[in-house]
Amino acid sequence: AKSFEGFKTRILSKITALTVIQYINKFIFDRNINNIKISII
């Protein structure tokens, strides 16, 4: 990233995506929270 804003946006999007996958695994599919590899395929 060339600016701090771009860097911040990229980090925030990664954290958000990871949190959403964990939420879906826990509450919708009732799987282990850390099963990120088998999330949505």
pLDDT at 9: 94
Question: Which residues are CB-contacts of 10 (< 8 A; sequence separation ≥ 6)?
Answer: 1
Pairwise pLDDT comparison (27 vs 6), residue with the higher score: 6
pLDDT at 23: 85
What are the CA-CA distances from residue 7 to residues 4, 14, 19, 32 (Å)? 5, 11, 19, 30
What mean pLDDT comes out for the span 4-15?
Answer: 93
**Which residue is listed with tokens 């701090």?**
4
Domain residue limits at 35:
1-40
pLDDT at 12: 94
Q: What's the pLDDT tens digit per position in 10-40?
A: 999 999 988 888 888 778 777 777 766 665 5
Total of domains in the chain = 1
